[in-house]
Structure formats: C-alpha cells, structure tokens
Amino acid sequence: MQGLPRNAAQVLRRLAGGSASPWELIDSQDGTLKEFCRVLELLQELGLVRWSGSRLELTEAGREEAERCGAGMPEFRCTCCDGRGYAVQKKELVERFTALLEGRPLPVEEYDQGYIAPGDVLLRAGFMLERGDVAGKRILLIGDDDMLGVALALTALPERVLALDADPRVVEFINSVAEAEGLGVSAQRYDVRKPLPDELAGSFDVFVTDPVETLPGITLFLSRGAEALRGRGCAAYFGLTTLEAGAEKWHRIQRMLLDMGFVITDIRRRFSVYPCEDTNFFRYQEKLRVVKVLGSRCDHDWFWSSFLRLEAVEEPAPQVVGETELGEELYHDEECWATPE
C-alpha cells in the first residue's frame, strides 16, 4: 500500500507477531505519541487493524500489508541486553542501589517528575564512566529524582557530585542517603528559572539533566548546565524521547546545541525506561493526554528515553542567562502527551 507513514509500517510489523495492547505498540515505532495515535486511527480506517477486546490485531488485509513491510524477517535486536548494548553484569550492584532508594519521594505533578528503572540508572553511570566522564570529574546534575548522583557516588571516583533539584524532598533524601552511607554526593534546592548561583558557574567538568521536552524547557535546562561547565572539552548528558519530541523538534534542538558550542558524540537510543508502576508518574496517568486519547490505563513499560552525550568544542555559550519568567510553556506544547495536564 503506497503512502503509509513509516511508523505505520513499524506497527504492522509488530502486530504480525501477535495481538498487542496499544501501550506495547508505542515502543515499536518512532513517532511522537500524537503521531502514534493518528496512525492507529489510520490503520483502522484502512481496514488493516482492528480491536479485539482491549488489544489490537491485524486483519487479513493487514497481514498481507505487514508482509510487504518486512514482517517475518529475523529479529536483529540483541535479546541479552534488550538492544541497548549495555547490561549490568553484577546483580548485587542493582540490589544495593535499589535498597538505597527505599523510601525515595514519590513523583509529584508539580515538578513533572518520573524516574527511570534503577538498573537503567546504573547503565547511565556505566556509560559515563566508559566515556571518561566520571573518574576525577566534577559532576553537576540539574534535577535528579532518578538518583543518578547517588549511583555516581557509589563508584567513589568523581571529585565532586552535586545535584540541584526544585523539590525539597529530593534534596533531603539525597543528603540523608549520602550522610548515612558516607557517599560523596550532596544536593541543594534550585529552581531552574532562577539564575545559576555564581559559585557554580564555570565550576564543573560534566553536567547531566533530564529536561522537560518543550523547546523553551530544553533550552533553559541545557543553558544552566552549559553555564556551569569549565570550558572546551567538557561533557554533557541529557535524556530525550521521540514520544514528546518529533523530528522537527530534534532538528531545532540540534541547531541550538551547535549554537551553544556542543557537538553530539553519542546517542544511545532506547537506553532508559520509566517503569509503568504506581510509584512512578503513572500514578496520575489519568491526567496524561495519551491515556485520555487511547482510553485505557497503561499495562506496559512504554516510556523509553534516548541518552545523548555532548562535548564542548568551543567555549559553552548558554542561550539563557539570568532569571526567566517561563510559565506553562515550560512544561507543555502540542507534543507533550505524556506530561500531566
């Protein structure tokens, strides 16, 4: 069938392996949540897909189209590491880190919080270590409900780890864990809309953030991090999805990164998952637009994020300096379907 969107073909190939809930299909395609919902409607209108209870399945015409889209080809993704290229080799490391997170604050809507799986936090720390951005480094985290700062401190390799977070509960929890376990990490409260404290500017070798996925929000978070870096050769990491950031937004982000003096050295696709559990942001999922449109509650780990590494090839040039008055546009745009309304 001519003219099918690329993510429609991806959905058909996934359904060729059997019926699936819409949440299971999200991870099989590259579109934003908005584009995904439109594709489901299109496939039903074309008679290629139908509902079977709460699950979707191919029609006879859909099976024929799926074959033309490459269904039946062998699976190429590594099943050992779930296609990520990295795996935590020591189970006891995950167990220790998970135990340290016991009693962590639950995500709240006010700060648009949500955390990745503990094992995935360790994968991020391991990837940073491999890239040479942990040992002897001064690392700043802007927002850290994932507790990556704690994971980095567990290595005992960084010179300094500081987490900035707007939520006083997160700050208190990180500091209490650090004190109880003797870890080299500290946290302080910070609203990203406020100027970066003078004593932090130009003081770090690496910054890490998981920004909101609006253009104003990403620009603001990355600008604060850029201002904190010492200069050329410093590194930055941030998470970004294709679910709330389409190709045009990625294009504008890449242009902004170039203007700030950074080059993208790595994109680890589908590197971190936000577990679908009641202690995560799914506890208020009825306020997510994608849940309202699909009309069913989440039953699968579908919110995956890529992990990007940047390197400063010029003196970092933040796009935002000083205080900003961003309001609702900090958190919401037409693609933010997994952000609480």
- Average pLDDT over every residue of 193-211: 97
Domains annotated on the chain, with CATH: 6-68 (1.10.10.10), 91-330 (3.40.50.150)
Of 91 and 203, which is predicted with more confidence? 203
Dist. CA 288–CA 298, nearest whole Å: 11
SS3 per-residue string spanning 170-193: HHHHHHHHHHHHCCCCEEEECCCC
Using the predicted structure, report yes or no on whether residue 20 has a pLDDT greater than 80. yes
Q: What is the pLDDT of residue 76?
A: 84
DSSP, collapsed to helix, strand or coil, labels residue 263 as strand
Q: What is the pLDDT of residue 287?
A: 93
- Average pLDDT over every residue of 300-329: 95
- CB atoms near residue 74 (< 10 Å): 4
Dist. CA 271–CA 124, nearest whole Å: 8
Q: In the chain, what's the furthest Cα-to-Cα distance?
A: 65
Question: Range with the lowest mean pLDDT among 210-224, 234-248, 276-290, 306-320?
Answer: 276-290
Using the predicted structure, report yes or no on whether residue 141 has a pLDDT greater than 70. yes
Of 60 and 109, which is predicted with more confidence? 60
User: Which amino acid is residue 248, in one-letter code?
Assistant: E
User: Which amino acid is residue 333, in one-letter code?
Assistant: D
Dist. CA 175–CA 144, nearest whole Å: 12
Element (H, E) at 268: strand 262-274
- Average pLDDT over every residue of 75-98: 89
Query: Which distant-in-sequence residues (6+ apart) come within 8 Å of 317 by Cβ?
Result: 226, 259, 260, 261
Dist. CA 280–CA 164, nearest whole Å: 20
Q: Quick one: residue 47, left, alpha or beta (phi over 0 = left, psi -120 to 50 = alpha)? A: left
